[in-house]
Amino acid sequence: MPLLARYPREVAAGSVSEAMVLNVDFALTICDLAGVSPTSPMQGRSLRPLLRGEAPDDWRQEMYYRYWMHLDGSHGVWAHCGVRTHRYKLVQYYGEALGQPGTTDEPRPEEWELFDLEHDPLELRSVHEDPEYAEVRRDLTARLARLQRELGDAPTVELPIPLPKLAAPRGLLARPGRGQVTLDWEPVEGAAGYIIERSSKADGGWEMLVIGEPEVRPVPHPPFTDTSGQVGREVRYRVAAAASVKDFEQPRSEAVAAAPALDGSAHVAIAIRADQPIGPVHRPWRPMIGSEHLSQLEERGTTGGRPIGAEFAEALRLAHEELGVEAVRAHAILGDDLGTYREVDGEPVLDFSGISRNYDRVLDLGLRPIVELGFMPRDLAVDPSKTVSSIGPSSALPGTGTDGASSFGSWRRTSWSATVVTRSGAGPSRSGTRPTSAPSGRGPARSTCASTT
């Protein structure tokens, strides 16, 4: 949107500036020209240097905006925010009313758009998922998060965790076999795992392979055997190193092509040379392991003829004593299996004794529990059939009333936190961190204020 200004004293006729200006600059510009100092801190900057034809070195290179009127009666647009530079525009449609006036409380799924304004000035094709723009996407997302915090706006994205830049894997090979293709490549220094992409097209069309758990895409190391292809149908493969489970933006390897064969050996041979050490065994499990519901420690039933509760406790003990595990993160500590929250005649009834029993048991085994709040009691959910929460910085947690986030947050602060802190004390807390706190005062538990399951 152009800005026209006429002020013969300082603006040269026909002069043009490509600098990025905002409407919040107008008030400070008028104050500056009038010789008036603002009485309180104000957003924006005076445009006077630009009007004079100057180009300050520290002038802004990006702008932030937010459209909060989610599905208002006139426009029907999803609530969104974005960051714009001279060349790119990143838009996040967070799609929530967040209790703002004039909005409609009908959440929409989060969507993103990224436009290269140099090649697409009319914004007709989003390149948000294009691997070629991965570095641009990462940079703009970080800028969006930073600007929201600098301006004091409610954050809709988390500040990204800095990840190391890894090299593209080299030496990718694809060996066809009976009903499968085996990939191998040279390991990359610093990689926590590798993502594998496959395409049936000659140009583009890459899709990440879903291997086992869909939320954990990287495989730990080469080689890897793809058994999901069609016999005789050639596809292309490429791989990338990953510095974390959600790191999909590292450079890709060169592509190779192969097709599963119709015949060949169907045997798998594993050769082990126990007399030849090949290097140290890394122990990434020591800080924390994952677990199913801790309530299974109280399970008296059996599976396969073996006692569930006793065997679970023994597995946790061995993990600590023989593998050196320090902490365990378990699902659904606020789930209904421990009876933490229920409603009687519309009134909440809280009972944290089940949580305390389980945490005491874990602490007796020498482990520290990591608290996960991704599940919630059935009676606390707006929709009782949906008790698994995907919680982000802008998500409205299911809860009682129209402001689910507030009701659940108040319940958590006044009840859960009070119980834990009263018994053991607590350190500082923020979303995504683990404050030091523990039931029974028997050693530190750790809690996450928000998690995703």
pLDDT attached to residue 178: 93
User: Do 436 and 328 have their domain in common?
Assistant: yes
DSSP 396-429: ----SSS-HHHHHHHHIIIIIIHHHHHHH-B---
Beta pairing class for 111-116 and 173-177: unpaired
Total domain count for the chain? Answer: 4
Write out the H or E segment, with its range, that includes residue 302. strand 302-303
In this predicted structure, the answer to whether residue 410 has a pLDDT above a threshold of 60 is: no
pLDDT tens for each residue of 91-115 = 999 999 988 888 999 999 899 999 9
Residues 293, 428 within the same domain: yes
Cα separation values, 432 from 160, 294, 419, Å:
12, 21, 20
**3-state SS of the chain: helix, strand, coil percent to 5?**
20, 20, 60
Say whether both 136 and 250 belong to one domain. Answer: no
397 CA to centre of own chain? 16
Say if residue 156's pLDDT is above 90: no
pLDDT for 432: 35
Same domain, 347 and 394: yes
Assess whether pLDDT exceeds 60 at residue 429: no
12 shares a domain with 125 = no
Quickly list DSSP for 224-258: EEE--SPTT--EEEEEEEESSTT---SPBPPPEEE
- Measured between alpha carbons, how far is residue 378 from residues 245, 291, 353 in Å? 30, 21, 18
**12 in a domain, yes or no?**
yes
pLDDT digits (tens, 9 = 90+) for 76-95: 899 999 999 999 999 999 99
- pLDDT for 128 beyond 50: yes
Residues 211 and 103 in one domain: no
- Which pLDDT does position 1 carry in this prediction? 67
> Confidence class of residue 389 from pLDDT cuts 50, 70 and 90?
low
The model's pLDDT over 187-224, given as tens digits with 9 standing for 90+, comes to 999 999 999 999 998 887 888 898 877 777 899 999 99
- Confidence (pLDDT) at 131: 78
Q: Residue 2: pLDDT band by 50, 70, 90 thresholds?
A: confident
Band the pLDDT of 70: cuts 50, 70, 90. very high
CA distance 182 to 219: 13
Residue 37 has pLDDT above 60, yes or no: yes
**Which stretch of DSSP H or E encloses residue 138?**
helix 134-150
Over pLDDT 90: what percentage of the chain? Answer: 48
- Confidence grade of residue 414 (pLDDT, cut at 50, 70, 90): very low
- pTM score: 0.53
Residue 116's DSSP bridge partners are 88
Evaluate whether residue 372 is within a structural domain: yes
The reported pLDDT for the residue numbered 261 is 93
- 5 found inside a domain: yes
Segment 316-341 mean pLDDT: 87
Residues 357 and 311 in one domain: yes
Residues 296 and 435 in one domain: yes
- 424 is a domain residue: yes
CATH of residue 224's domain is 2.60.40.10
Q: Give the lowest-confidence range in 46-55, 57-66, 319-328, 408-417.
A: 408-417
The pLDDT mean for the chain works out to 82
pLDDT of 120 above 80: yes
The verdict on 304 and 386 lying in the same domain is yes
The answer to whether residue 369 scores a pLDDT higher than 60 is yes
The mean per-residue pLDDT over the stretch 395-423 comes to: 44
pLDDT given for residue 430 in this prediction: 36
Q: Stretch 292-297: mean pLDDT, rounded? A: 89
412 inside domain: yes
142: CATH? 3.30.1120
363: containing domain: 289-447
Residues 326 and 381 placed together within one structural domain of the fold: yes
Q: Looking at the structure, do residues 74 and 142 belong to the same domain, yes or no?
A: yes
* Mean pLDDT of the region 356-373: 88
pLDDT of residue 384: 64
Does 271 map to a domain?
A: no
Model pLDDT, residue 421? 52
The conformation of residue 439, written as its DSSP 8-state character, comes to: G
Q: Give the pLDDT of residue 265.
A: 80
> How far is the first Cα of the chain from the last one, in angstroms, to the nearest whole number?
42
136 vs 429 pLDDT, higher one: 136
